[in-house]
């Protein structure tokens, strides 16, 4: 058995060289150059002082200017009702309300929100005094695991304000007329809020009740 080991090592060495050669070729440069190239490490910027107004309370903090609003809310202010799903603007779980408009907080920097009014799910209502949209979600069972729910509720609240303000959507038939509140408008406007549990039908029931329309 042992007399085969040297040969085996030779075979393994040869294989390693061959693999290294393939990797180097695939990157279009010699193997030595690829190994020697240092990786650029971005310098950490200096923290900056910001003031965020969240749910009516002012918060002063020193923060890395690269911090998203989502991370500032969750990690610095401990407002963990706002959820991190995809962290890249695709799921809507991080939706909060800024100056009355829906914002995916993972896509905006905290430093950009100074001077604005930020409302999170914690600021909409309390367990003893629910916001009408929160109460409707409870009544219509508009959630299962609940992970998407804070984003769904914040989005739904601001979405109805958008409809009332006459802002058209992709499915608004007449751009010269006020959009008609109803299931088609609600589904289109809520399409940025994903629910992996599939509670969409019950969510629509809750929104319809708050909007005062029949499904």
Among residues 146, 178, 180, 191, which is the contact residue for ligand FES, using CB under 6 A?
146
Residues 152 and 190: beta-carbon distance below 8 Å: yes
Nearer to ligand FES, 83 or 131 (CB): 83
Does 62 bind ligand FES (CB under 6 A)? Our answer is no
Task: Give the list of residues 6+ apart from residue 178 with CB closer than 8 angstroms, or none.
Answer: 166
Options 22-30, 33-41, 113-121, 190-198: segment touching ligand FES (CB under 6 A): 190-198
Please provide the distance, in angstroms rounded to a whole number, between the alpha carbons at the two ends of the chain: 78
Among residues 104, 119, 120, 172, which is the contact residue for ligand FES, using CB under 6 A?
104
Residues 54 and 79: beta-carbon distance below 8 Å: yes
Helix (H, G, I), strand (E, B) or coil at 202: helix
Pairing of strands 95-98, 57-63: unpaired
Smallest gap, in angstroms, from Cβ of residue 162 to ligand FES? 18
Does 159 bind ligand FES (CB under 6 A)? Our answer is no
Which residues lie near ligand FES (CB under 6 A)? Answer: 84-87, 89-94, 104, 106, 143-149, 195-197, 199
């Amino acid at each position: 058995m042992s007399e085969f080991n040297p040969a085996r090592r030779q075979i393994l060495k040869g294989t390693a060289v061959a693999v290294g050669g393939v990797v180097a070729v695939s990157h279009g440069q010699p193997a030595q150059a690829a190994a020697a190239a240092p990786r650029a490490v971005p310098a950490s910027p200096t923290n900056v002082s910001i003031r965020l107004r969240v749910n009516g309370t002012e918060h002063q903090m020193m923060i890395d200017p690269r911090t998203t609003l989502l991370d500032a809310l969750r990690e610095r202010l401990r407002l963990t009702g706002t959820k991190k799903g995809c962290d890249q603007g695709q799921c809507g779980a991080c939706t909060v309300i800024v100056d009355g408009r829906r914002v995916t907080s993972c896509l905006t920097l905290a430093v950009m929100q100074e001077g604005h009014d930020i409302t999170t799910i914690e600021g909409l209502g309390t367990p003893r005094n629910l916001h009408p949209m929160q109460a409707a979600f409870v009544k219509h069972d508009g959630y299962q695991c609940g992970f998407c729910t804070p984003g769904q509720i914040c989005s739904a609240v601001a979405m109805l304000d958008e409809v009332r303000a006459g802002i058209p959507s992709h499915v608004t038939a007449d751009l010269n007329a006020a959009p008609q509140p109803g299931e088609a408008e609600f589904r289109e406007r809520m399409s940025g809020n994903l629910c992996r549990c599939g509670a969409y039908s019950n969510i629509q029931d809750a929104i319809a009740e708050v909007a005062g329309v029949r499904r």
